Amino acid sequence: MEEASQVRRAAREAVRDVGPAAFGDAVGLVVAEGAMTPGVLAVLCARAVDESVAFEAVAERAAGTQLIYEGLRLTRTLAGDPPWEAVDTVNAGGGTATDAGDVDTANVDVLVADVLVARGFHLLARTEAAGRAVETVRNFGHDQTRRRSSGEEAIDTDLEADVFELATVAGATAVGTHPSVECREFVADLAREGDRPLAPEAVFDASVRESLRTLSGASAASGEGVHPSVTDP
């Protein structure tokens, strides 16, 4: 999928200057291995409003959305199976070098996740999606705290739903239109379907693309556009 390749290049370019070299490689590896679904959605939402829009017009927004997702997704993985707790348990009877290595890797992953989210925020900071980005991270923190305290083990798809909404806002506002409530609900429901991780080729089939065009067209026709200086709440 062309959009996925374009988003990946934009996301990798956005973290290319992260150092030192070994740490930068760790950050780049997460981007290289990730499914570019949220970033692709931002592009598709922009093109659903204006099919002629060039990728460059939405590149930073797509990359920013993708980086935030990759950072939060990595954080969710670490929170779901914290290696620190496993090592604490083993160390009660004698730890191993492998245990220490797992913790060292996890410590690096925490920093990688922080950098990805921070760089994503930087790319979206001066866009209409900035407020929605903050809300996405805030919701993620609340959800993880709730799941941790309640011991819930159900598959967590709230992150994908929130990030898909963020992508919709980031993409649509790039061409001067705010997504309708119906469009945001549609992508949130879409995010909760299928297997994890969501692959763009599987998610964005012809029917989904047509739904995005229909919902985005309804939003534009109803005059729900926003002024470029307005930040999404």
229 lies in some domain: no
Q: Which two tokens stand for residue 152?
A: 């819930």
**pTM of the complete model:** 0.86
CA distance 116 to 158: 19
**Are 136 and 166 spatial neighbours (Cβ–Cβ below 8 Å)?**
yes
Tell me: the pLDDT tens digits for 89-98?
A: 455 555 554 5
CA distance 226 to 118: 26
Q: Give the CATH number, domain containing residue 162.
A: 1.10.600.10
Tell me: the pLDDT tens digits for 165-200?
A: 999 999 999 999 999 999 999 999 999 986 666 899
88 lies in some domain: yes
Looking at per-residue pLDDT, the higher value among 233 and 207 belongs to 207
**Which range of residues forms the domain containing residue 110?**
2-221
232 lies in some domain: no
